[in-house]
Chain A
């Protein structure tokens, strides 16, 4: 069986996926680690953990495609592709009817228009500002003293969502504190926060043609409150699979299988420490 890997080194988390090609494609293992300060180490750890979960030796993986902001730091990778191409490919693999991808990560969000084969037709991204990204939610969670995993479910309990007018990740803190001082409930504040990001993201996404099926990918796809808010603003349902968080790494692994072609070469794995200097 031919084995390939995709490693998506994001600003917050690193995702790795091992795909096996044995006539048909199968995801054999996946792993998620915090990126932290050592990007190279995070890529290695993610890759090794995914190999372990797949029950394969790193030496048997024939091709690795790196993606995400840290893609050029993956010393054992064979080639790199942007996460825009990889998310489109990954989303299309998970949902073949995908025409629009909304990817929300730790520090950026993007909307991708996808063709019938999973190719990128057009894309837009937030620009040098964390508004509309996971960071905005993390800040809100911190101000409220609530865990990041809890804010989504809690926001669903809102009955009177507040109106958050700022989309600035820094200034949202003062908005939240002001609402809390007025006695608003945390769930109503959180629903307001989620809606503010959803409006911002959808206004960005409308710059590419939004067509069904719309697939959400990236770390924020695990936040049910965010999915609900986006659906509310869009007025339609989003496709969110259990592997949505890994869409970029899955896409990278699929490109890896393709790039590997017939020229399978085992033993490309060489940890950074063993790599010759220079």
Chain B
């Protein structure tokens, strides 16, 4: 078999991304050594990085550490260490990798990670995180704050929900002032919110460039590369400079008509996180078919901005609350996720959908079988469903996944050869009246701005 064509974009931003992430680990190391800057452990989903900027604190993201371990093929040892402690085989593998790494003193870059000043569980969407962060606080012997963000159950968050989250943010500010001995800098916080809005604008415009044919970047694999800076530096001038450069480079690439491959063959939407221990092999499976991910839900875990939401410096606390409540994929209900994917297929001109089910993540994955049925049976969009894990290498079978991917693209290729493959809006069949349950109720799903 010939080698899969290399597909990732390597411009200035590639090196800058590496430098930024390296600098983040250096700041964490400095925090570990001197306690300055203070660090706060946060979860990625709907993260409130802007709040930390008001304290000059550095974020510590256990998910980023876990996935870095997995990409470097270091995740199995900590997972086994956690299982020896009694964590079950089907517990979230991110949790096990993080807890196991804490116990064993394993860090992704080999440099020490700080003991956080506070473990802040911004409980957005994932209830496993409540226990994860409780355990992380317990194992590290540091205080824990629970930020309870109500699950989004109405098209827009209710005013009382926003108020509820804002009040908690105020409480956390007081708590962090006490713990760190630093005064919260409201101007710096507002500036961070302003930076976030600029980063979100650039990021959103990059994502919209993927609507072009060919797409100048891969909205799954390349997006993951950009997600590190997005979560660590969003509220900072470095973040603004990085994302505005990224936008410029992507716009230039788009203007030259350059895609990911010499010739883009297929355009797909991806649902679910990648199998990080086999990230390269997974990417090559798409590359061998010259398939570009033009949109992905995973890249909206930290925030969903391509449909218009931006942080607002004129009401900083409210916009942080709104971001946590409504503008990240994990805190939204399933029907909203269906609608998000449907819009991607239609507006980003996709040929099909690939769903990657994560065995150790019930929250993100439960219901994906129904999701597949909805898209294949009701909307007529070719949808592939594959299973492995985002962190635990034991769940990944390369031969099996490649077989399914090849079969999926063989079928798409055949449809194209017979003129029956439809793309974008043409790929979507209108659901028959009364067909299926809630997903067919288009008007109820029409809730994105």
Q: Give every chain B residue within 8 A of A121 (Cβ-Cβ).
A: 411
- The interface stretch among B33-41, B201-209, B220-228, B394-402 is B394-402
Interface: A271 (CB within 8 A): no
Specify the chain B residue showing the minimal Cβ separation from A124. Answer: B385
Indicate the member of B369, B385, B411 with the most A CB atoms within 10 Å: B411
Given contacts A117-B418, A122-B376, whether A127 and B387 have CB atoms under 8 Å apart is yes
Task: Decide yes or no: A80 and B410 within 8 Å by CB, A119-B418, A128-B387, A209-B377 being known contacts.
Answer: no
Chain A 46-75, CB within 8 Å of chain B: the 1/0 string? Answer: 000000000000000000000001001000
A127-139 vs B, Cβ < 8 Å mask (1 yes, 0 no): 1100000000000
CB pair A69 B403 closer than 8 Å? yes
> Which residues in B have their C-beta under 8 angstroms from that of A81?
406, 410
Q: Whole-angstrom distance between the alpha carbons of A80 and B414 in the complex? A: 15
CB-based closest 4 A-B pairs: A84-B407, A82-B407, A120-B411, A85-B410
- Is the C-beta of A123 less than 8 angstroms from some C-beta in chain B? yes
Interface residues of A (CB under 8 A from B): 69, 72, 80-85, 108, 117, 119-125, 127-128, 207, 209
Known: A85-B414, A117-B418, A120-B410. 9 other contacts (CB 8 A): A81-B406, A83-B403, A84-B404, A119-B414, A123-B404, A123-B407, A128-B387, A207-B369, A209-B377
Q: Is B185 an interface residue (CB 8 A)?
A: no
CB-defined contacts of B397 to chain A, threshold 8 Å = 128
Give Cα distance in the complex from A125 to B403, angstroms.
10
Closest Cβ of chain B: how far from A166's Cβ, in Å? Answer: 17
A207 neighbours in B (Cβ, 8 Å): 369, 372-373
A-B contact count (CB 8 A): 48
Bound complex: CA A80 to CA B409 (Å): 13
In the complex, which residues of chain B have a beta carbon less than 8 angstroms from the beta carbon of A127?
Answer: 387, 400
Say whether, besides A128-B387, A207-B369, A120 and B407 are in contact (CB < 8 Å): yes
B415 within 8 A of A: yes
Q: How many residues of B contact A (CB 8 A)?
A: 22
1/0 per residue B351-371: CB within 8 Å of A? 000000000000000000100
Q: Say how far B280's CB is from chain A's closest CB, in angstroms.
A: 18
A124 to B386, CA, bound (A): 9
28 contacts between A and B (CB under 8 A): A69-B399, A72-B1, A81-B406, A81-B410, A82-B406, A82-B407, A82-B410, A83-B403, A84-B403, A84-B410, A117-B418, A119-B414, A119-B418, A120-B407, A120-B410, A120-B411, A122-B382, A123-B404, A124-B385, A125-B400, A127-B387, A127-B400, A128-B395, A128-B397, A128-B400, A207-B369, A207-B372, A209-B377
| In the complex, residue of chain A having the shortest beta-carbon distance to the beta carbon of B372 | A207
A37 to chain B, nearest CB (A): 16
Q: Which residues of A contact B406 (CB under 8 A)?
A: 81-82
Q: Which of B387, B399, B410 has the most CB of A within 10 A?
A: B410
Q: Which residues of A contact B373 (CB under 8 A)?
A: 207
Q: Which residue of A lies closest to B388 (CB)?
A: A128
Cβ–Cβ < 8 Å partners of B407 in chain A: 82, 84-85, 120, 123
Task: Report Cα–Cα, A170/B257, bound state, in Å.
Answer: 55
* A contact residues around B395 at 8 Å (CB): 128
Q: In whole angstroms, how far apart are the Cα atoms of A209 and B1 in the complex?
A: 33
In angstroms, Cα B372 to Cα A261, docked, is 36
Q: Which residues of B sit under 8 angstroms from A117, Cβ to Cβ? A: 418
**Candidates B1, B404, B414, B415; contact of A125 at CB < 8 Å:** B404
* Cα separation A222 to B372 with both chains bound (whole Å): 32
Residues of B within 8 A of A84 (CB): 403-404, 407, 410
Closest to A84 in B: B407
Residues of the B chain whose Cβ atoms lie less than 8 Å from the Cβ of A83: 403
Question: In whole Å, how far is B119's beta carbon from the nearest beta carbon of chain A?
Answer: 35
- A-chain residues with CB within 8 Å of residue B410 when the two chains form the complex: 81-82, 84-85, 120
Residues of A within 8 A of B415 (CB): 119
Docked complex Cα distance between A122 and B400 (Å):
16
Residues of the B chain whose Cβ atoms lie less than 8 Å from the Cβ of A119: 411, 414-415, 418
Closest CB in chain A relative to B386 CB, distance in Å: 8
Smallest CB separation, B225 vs chain A (Å)? 29
Nearest CB on A from B382, distance (A) = 8
Contacts of A125 in B (CB 8 A): 400, 403-404
Q: State the CA gap A257–B374 with chains docked (Å).
A: 37
CB closest chain-A residue, reference B412: A120
Among candidates B1, B404, B418, residue contacting A80 with C-beta atoms closer than 8 Å: B1
> Among the listed B369, B387, B403, B414, which residue makes an inter-chain contact with A120, where contact means beta carbons less than 8 Å apart?
B414
Docked Cα-Cα span, A228 to B407, in Å, equals: 29
Q: How far is the CA of A25 from the CA of B406 in the complex (A)?
A: 27
Q: How far is the CB of A101 from chain B (nearest CB, A)?
A: 12
Considering the chains assembled together, what is the distance between the CA atoms of A165 and B372 in angstroms? 28
With A124-B385, A207-B373, A209-B377 as contacts: A82 and B403 at CB distance below 8 Å: yes
Contacts of B387 in A (CB 8 A): 127-128
CA–CA, A209 and B380, complex, Å: 12
- Give Cα distance in the complex from A121 to B414, angstroms: 10
Q: How far is the CA of A264 from the CA of B368 in the complex (A)?
A: 46
Q: How far is the CA of A207 from the CA of B395 in the complex (A)?
A: 22
Which A residues are CB-close (under 8 A) to B418?
A: 117, 119
CA A82 to CA B369, docked complex, whole Å: 23
